[in-house]
Amino acid sequence: MDIAIYTLTSELHDEKAVGAVTQEFLSSLGIDYTLKGNDYTDYGCHTLSVIYVRTGGTEGIFKRLLPQLRQQSQAPFYLLTSGKSNSLAASMEILSYLQQNYMQGEIIHGSADYIAQRLATLSKMSEARKRLKDTRYGIIGQPSDWLISSAADPKAVKTRLGIDLIEVPIEELIEGIDKIAEGDMPNRIYEALKVIVDKYLLQGFTLRCFDLLTAVHNTGCLALARLNAEGIVAGCEGDVPAMLSMAITNALLGVSGFQANPSQINPETGEMLFAHCTIPLNMVERYELDTHFESGIGVGIRGYMKEGPVTIFKVSGDLKRNFMAEGKLVRNQAKPDLCRTQQVIQLTDSQQASYFLTRPIGNHHIITPGNNSKLFEDFMASL
């Protein structure tokens, strides 16, 4: 972890005594950090910049520093405090001032274990924001005709996530596939997509994949599964909000997540069935190749993910709404009348099933391994 700790100290306090408390307190956290003291010249340059409010009477010092700090970083302010020497009271006054002036912040206070875990989470969130900043994500073809609620606000996406949305005509992909003479069709689709990724300097994309059924009589399912496993976010059907959700997931967790449709919901028990014809190959224990479900042609993937904790995640195209719910993957199944990868998930809170029936953010949602709801929630709150 690249954590830099800066200090705020009142001149009324004895530096020798405060220094001893500082060493004892920071050592108790058991984390790697760089102590910067009161030199704020490189504030914001590290993965996570933390202000350790060591004493009370520091509110005015912070206020004088604030214009410089805001010029150097737009990240939320994280105020670390041991609680000694009226440091917690000063931190509360500072945080209240920030909020009155429409700036974000948080006081990091509690047991050594809590503080260490919180700093680790904040460091992961900060690293994810840096990974997303100034990235480029492609929209290869417009969203599929049936995705009538799945548009995005490019300005909001750039402002809050740092992502530029790049439109690429689907015809360019089809022409690229035609230029590749060797290999079977799924591999030619994969190679043509890689050409577009390289040409436009993309970190990911969403593909209007159903057009391939008529244009080249095949599917992009295998290509997307491979590219996701290689770290290139690759979404289906031109669904931009789903792609953005996958980009966030990849930045936080290192996997793109499984873009899937809810196919069945039991609102009384919270059991849900999700299905789709592709899944990142680095998310499954094994997989089989089948045909694409709706068309019966090309290649679809039946992936088997490890059973256990999962989190369902989705953001809206304007980033004003988001949803996350934890649950358990209780079984993978392989029924012939559904998209090929099928997951039965039991929601931890069965009442969250009502969201899908009353106020869903589109139809596609992203399934990730592990209990990640708090991480997603904190990340979205920090934007």
**Residue 144 C-alpha from the chain's centroid:** 23
User: What is the Cα–Cα distance from 243 to 198, expressed in whole angstroms?
Assistant: 18
Extract the runs of DSSP E, i.e. beta strands, from 115-192. Answer: 135-140, 163-168
Radius of gyration of the chain (CA): 24
Evaluate whether 46 touches 1 at the Cβ level (below 8 Å): no
Same domain as 240, residue 337: yes
* Least trusted range by pLDDT, from 144-158, 160-174, 201-215: 144-158
Q: Is the pLDDT of residue 17 over 80?
A: no
Same domain as 216, residue 93: no
Residue pLDDT, tens place only, 322-347: 999 999 999 999 999 898 999 999 99
User: What is the Cα–Cα distance from 138 to 78, expressed in whole angstroms?
Assistant: 34
How many of the other CB atoms lie within 10 Å of CB of 12? 9
Q: Which is more confident, 379 or 16? A: 379
Same domain as 355, residue 228: yes
N-term to C-term CA, the chain: 21
Last residue of a domain, one of 103, 132, 161: 132
Residue pLDDT, tens place only, 175-217: 999 999 889 999 999 999 999 999 999 999 999 998 999 999 9
Same domain as 345, residue 253: yes
Average pLDDT of span 239-256: 97
User: What is the Cα–Cα distance from 350 to 265, expressed in whole angstroms?
Assistant: 10
Count of domains for the chain: 2
Average pLDDT for the chain: 94
Token pair for 222: 């295998």
pLDDT value of residue 14: 67
Q: Which is more confident, 240 or 1? A: 240
Q: Looking at residue 89, which CATH number applies to its domain? A: 3.40.50.10940
Same domain as 166, residue 119: no
Same domain as 126, residue 64: yes
Same domain as 179, residue 67: no
Same domain as 252, residue 106: no
* Domain limits for position 276: 135-382
Same domain as 210, residue 88: no
Average pLDDT of span 149-162: 93
Q: Is the pLDDT of residue 16 over 80?
A: no
pLDDT value of residue 267: 95
Buried b (16+ CB within 10 A) or exposed e, 204-232: bbbbbbbbbbeebebbbbbbbbbbbbeeb
28: Cβ–Cβ under 8 A, 6 or more apart, which residues?
A: 112
Evaluate whether 287 touches 350 at the Cβ level (below 8 Å): no
13 band by pLDDT with thresholds 50, 70 and 90: low
Same domain as 200, residue 58: no
Residue pLDDT, tens place only, 74-125: 889 999 999 898 999 999 999 999 999 999 999 999 999 999 999 999 999 9
Residue pLDDT, tens place only, 51-62: 999 999 999 999
Same domain as 156, residue 61: no
Q: Are strands 233-236 and 48-53 parallel, antiparallel or unpaired?
A: unpaired
User: In the Cβ-directed half-sphere of 12, how many Cα atoms lie within 13 Å?
Assistant: 7
Residue pLDDT, tens place only, 283-332: 999 999 998 888 888 899 999 999 999 999 999 999 999 999 999 999 99
